[in-house]
Amino acid sequence: MNFRSRSVSEPEINLIPFIDVLLVVLIFLMLSTTYSKFTEMQLRLPVADTDAQRDYPKEMIVSVSADGAYSVNRVAVTGRSLETLAAALSDGAKAGKETVVIISADASAKHQSVVTVMEAARRAGLNQITFATQSSAQSGR
């Protein structure tokens, strides 16, 4: 019989692969967090420097209020339907198809209201459309 004491060897934990994995995870996290700040979208709305407003007979100003009411050349349009607005644009076009439609919409007006003006101008046969802008001196930015 063999009664010699066996030497109990302690198991060794090899930390080198563990450290390698941790370094790879750390590098991955560092790279992914530095790019996360570029996912934000910074917007600045355009401001144009324009000349003083002129009163040409070929221009027709269509105003859109914040609640979606329309006026053509400072005359309120009764109703908010597309057909009513198209009829008002046809009546207000002094130069016929040569008339330039200037859309002056409130900043808080719905996008659909502006699209309705554009569609009404198309139905009235007015193809020249532009937008009124605020000059940079008046914007205060």
Q: What is the pLDDT of residues 25-42, one digit of tens each?
A: 999 888 877 554 544 545
Give whole-number Cα distances, 5 to 2, 8, 12, 25, in Å: 9, 9, 21, 45
Task: Determine the average pLDDT of the residues in 120-127.
Answer: 90
User: Between 32 and 47, whose confidence is greater?
Assistant: 32
Architecture of domain 59-133: 2-Layer Sandwich (3.30)
Mean pLDDT of the chain: 79
Q: State the pLDDT at residue 54.
A: 55
Give the chain's count of helices (H) and strands (E): 4, 5
Closest by Cα among 88, 87, 97 to 61: 88
pLDDT of res. 95: 72
> Cα(81)–Cα(39) distance, rounded to whole angstroms?
40
Q: What would the pLDDT profile of 93-120 be if each residue is shown by its tens digit?
A: 877 788 889 898 888 888 898 899 999 9
